Amino acid sequence: MSDPLASLKARFVVRAQDDLTVLETADVEAASDVIHRLAGTAGTLGYHELSRLAAVVDQALHDGQAAPPGALEALNAELRAVIRRG
C-alpha cells in the first residue's frame, strides 16, 4: 500500500533544501519562521525527531532565549538526514 502522504512528503523534502539554506545563512527572524514551521509540519508528516528538535529551538526563541547548546546543529543535521532519505 502506498503512503497517502507521499506527495506532501516529496514537496516537504524539496522545500527542506531551501529551509536548510535559511537555517545555515539567514538572520534569526527568517530562521525563526522556518523553525516554527518545521516544528509543526515535520511531525504531521511523520518526521518526529525533526519536529522534536525544531520544537526545542522554537520554544527557546519564543521565550527570548538562545537555543540550547548543540540544538541548532542537531536540527540542521536531522534536516539534512530527512533530505538524504528523500
Domain ranges of the chain: 6-85
pTM recorded for the entire structure: 0.92
H helix intervals, 1-86: 6-25, 28-44, 48-62, 71-85
Please name which of 59, 54, 56 lies closest in space to residue 77, comparing C-alpha atoms: 54
Dump pLDDT digits (tens) for 6-50: 999 999 999 999 999 999 987 888 899 999 999 999 999 999 999
